[in-house]
Amino acid sequence: MQHQVEGGVLRLFFALPLPADLRESLARWQQGQAEVEGWTRPEGLHLTLAFLGERPAEALSTLLTVACPIADRHHGFKLWTAGLGGFPTAGTTRVLWLGLESSPALEALATDLRETLATAGEAFDAKPFRAHLTLARWRRARAVARFVPPPPIPFTVDRLVLFESRPRGGYTPLGDWNLRRV
C-alpha cells in the first residue's frame, strides 16, 4: 500500500499494528476502568518502533524504500503484554502504557530499523527503544497504581507499517510490509 502526497509536511512513525482481538480485549479493559478522559482509541493502538516526527512529503519515497528490506530480514514473532507503567514515571503519570515481555525478536527488529534509518541519514527520535502500548494520555497526572493491569495477552506480530499521525489522534498507513513467514 502506498500513499501519494505532493508538498506539505507529514508526521510519521514506523510501528507494528496490533491484531484486532488484542485491540478488542484492551478496549474491554478500558471500558471497565473508572471514567477517565484521554483513553487511546482501540483502533489506534500500535507498537511504535521509530518516531520520525514531521517530515517533508518528499521524504516518503525514501522511507518506503528503506522499510522493505528490513521486513524481509525479520520473521513474524509472538509477544506478550505485561504490567502497566507511565511516562514520565510509574508513580503518577500523564501517559499510561502497557508494557511487553522482553523479546529478542522485537529488539532485533527495532534495532535494525533504527540503524537502517540512521545509515540512510533519516532522522528519528533517538530515545532508547522501550516496548509499550500507550493506553491513555491525560491532562492531569494520575496514579498508575489505581489501575489493575489487564491479564497478560499473547499476540503475533507479522507486519511493519509506516503511519502518518493525523490531527485528533487518527493514523493513516502509508506503507505496509509483511514480515517473513516462519
Q: Of these residues, 3, 74, 75, 132, which one is catalytic?
A: 132
Cα–Cα distance for residue pair 86/134, rounded to 1 Å: 9
Cell triple for residue 44? 489506534
- Whether 3 is catalytic is no
Catalytic: 132?
A: yes
Strand partners, 85: 97
d(CA 30, CA 39): 7
Residues 133 and 47 sit within 8 Å (Cβ to Cβ): yes
Grid coordinates belonging to 57 = 512529503
Q: Which of 3, 46, 74, 75 is catalytic?
A: 46
Residue 122, C-beta contacts closer than 8 angstroms, at least 6 positions apart: 52, 59, 62, 63, 66
Instruction: Tell me whether strands 154-157 and 77-88 are parallel, antiparallel or unpaired.
Output: antiparallel
For residue 86, the tally of other CB atoms under 10 A from its CB is 23
Residues that are catalytic = 46, 132
